[in-house]
Amino acid sequence: MKFLIIGIIFNFFSTWYFGWNWYPMSPAEHSCDHLAIALIILGFAEIIIKQEIKKIKKKEKMMTNKRVKELENIIREAKEIEENPNLTPIKIATKSLIIQNNAIRLKEKIEKNNIASE
């Protein structure tokens, strides 16, 4: 944003200094116009890059929150097995395998993202 503002201010003052001409009348005015244009383009590029970085950070935060919720669900399912005395051994074994598979899938997702981010 700062380059955009600097470019606009520089363009205004260079145009004022050289006499408010529509087309550049001297090489100095021509180079000042090019410098102002470059600063304005750099300012817009800076804004676009910052917006993309915000989007990426927001996406990473959403993915982290999703993984935390998955982990909480796994823990909740494990506590349900501990707290429910009416479960038969077959149901306990089945639920334990499901929890174990969910934990393995979550671990693989986390490892995959860690490798991709490096």
pLDDT digits (tens, 9 = 90+) for 5-62: 999 999 999 989 888 888 888 899 999 999 999 999 999 999 999 999 998 888 877 7
pLDDT at 116: 61
Q: What is the count of structural domains for the chain? A: 1
Position 70 pLDDT exceeds 70: yes
Coil, strand or helix at 69 = helix
Residue type at 76 in one-letter notation: R
Report the chain's mean pLDDT, rounded to a whole number.
85
Q: Which domain holds residue 59?
A: 2-117
- Mean pLDDT calculated for residue range 66-77: 82
H-assigned helices in 19-118:
27-83, 89-117
DSSP conformation class of 20: S
| pTM assigned to the model | 0.57
pLDDT at 49: 93
Max Cα–Cα distance, the chain, nearest Å: 92
pLDDT at 118: 53
